[in-house]
Amino acid sequence: MKERLQKVIAAAHGVSRRAAETLIAEGRVKVNGRIAELGSSADPERDKIEVGGKRLENRPKKTYVALYKPRGYVTTLSDEKGRKNVTELVSDIHTRLFPVGRLDMDSEGLLLLTNDGDWANLVSHPSHGVEKSYLVTVAGDAKAAVREMSKGMDLFEEDGSLAFHASPARAVVRDQYEDGGRILVTLTEGHNREVRRMCEACGLKVRRLVRVAVGGVTVAGIRTGGWRFLTEEEVRMLSGRKKKAPEKRKENA
């Protein structure tokens, strides 16, 4: 069945559709010996698709993984500084995967990886309302910070310009210490370093930040640096897709 060429390439290579479109625009993609154009369609089962002179293999099996990212790993697929990449932790799967969303180098916890671009977009886009929960160990007045986070706040760049408005978060103090505490913060947005910036704006110093859940999937049972495959039910749940009801059998008249 014919599909948009950029979708076929994204699925097979584990890249975004935008990156696939760039490959097509640069003339690096051929279909049946002819240079492809943006907007082209192809059948990966029948057409000969080449990217950079190499035959595109039939689309790989869609794979969905829950990883406990340790501190010190980056989630970008290419890093000019040569830092450790999360894909190194799933290299034994032998399928090219990419992270769903981001988790900064100094943070740890649940990170989803897949080779299904459509599913990744559903899970990561704020409009789909997938909740992400973080357990943050802080120094400072945790109770006062929770009140501020629950109202929403403007967050600023170092030069004083507005970075973005953080919508009200669901935040509760889980543990109270003499000089700080642990806060559970749940939100649906995905701004860069949003939780850290919210804490800093409230006068808190972040000592540890762990993403403990995405939707109904948690890090429970996954060791640091370890991973597991998502179940079919978890894949459907995170994307908002409902399980198809079995077709009713037609009775003979």
Give the active site residues.
104
Rounded to 10 degrees, the C-alpha dihedral 177/134/93/43 comes to: 180
CA 122 to chain centre: 10
Bridge partners of 180, per DSSP, are 139
24 by DSSP, 3-state: which?
helix
Q: Strand (E) positions, the chain? A: 3-4, 29-31, 34-35, 41-42, 49-51, 54-55, 64-69, 98-99, 108-114, 132-139, 153-156, 162-166, 170-176, 180-187, 205-214, 217-218, 227-229
If you ran DSSP here, which 8-state letter would residue 87 be given? G
Tokens of 98: 């990419």
Q: How far apart are CA 232 and CA 223, in angstroms?
A: 22
Report which residue type is found at 51.
V
42, 31 Cβ separation under 8 angstroms: yes
